[in-house]
Amino acid sequence: MVALLTAILLFVPAQGEKGKGKGKKKNEPKEIEDIDPNGRFEGGIIDQSASWFLWLDGDTWHLRTGSTNRKTNFNGSIKVKNGTVAACYGVGLDKGRKKAPSPDQYRVNGERSEITFTFVTAGKADGINFKIKGDDAILEFSLSSDGPSGPRRVKIGKEKQNPSGMPFRLKVPPPEDPKSKKAAKKEDPAE
């Protein structure tokens, strides 16, 4: 009887504590990452082990897969909240053989709210460039590969920062005002 009572008392606190710490789990991604996507990093893409590369140049986002000579299958999606995909095109994608579909594919859904893609990469870079329309747009990236995968395989912006988890979210920065660029050039004595 004492053993039964002791066993019950040991398990009751553990069950009662289930509600504690209902916040984010350790590997759960942040609501919106605090990562600057602007600028391409220095160095190559194809000399890296299986990785994703993402950067923003002006109003164009660049997503690339990189892999050494080992053939790697990459797939994923980009969901757009509070905006739409204004343009999207492939870069470095294989055309496929006669009467066979290309192993590299991407698709924008009819609502222009999601891009899905599959790339087979070996010794070169595959990817897409895309533009987003919407003042408060948020992008949700879900990226994986058949090789090593996870947030440490994603390199974002000039500093090649990693997101906190997968999927991860980035806010689309507001477009730069062309007038402010011209004003900055006039004030810069180096030019």
Core vs surface per residue 17-41: b (16+ CB within 10 A) or e: eeeeeeeeeeeebeeebebebeebe
pTM above 0.85, yes or no: no
Above pLDDT 70, what percent of the chain? 71
> H/E element holding 47?
none
Q: Which CATH class is domain 36-174?
A: mainly beta
Residue ranges covered by each domain of the chain: 36-174
C-alpha pair distances (Å), 38 with each of 15, 67, 120, 170? 46, 23, 26, 12
Beta bridge partners of 155: 53
Confidence of residue 46 (pLDDT cuts 50, 70, 90): low
pLDDT tens digits, residue range 129-178? 999 999 899 999 999 998 778 899 999 999 999 999 999 999 998 876 55
Lowest mean pLDDT among 6-15, 41-50, 181-190: 6-15
Query: Residue 68: what pLDDT?
Result: 76
Listed residue (148, 168, 146, 145) closest to 156, CA to CA: 168
Instruction: Pick the more confident residue, 43 or 115.
Output: 115
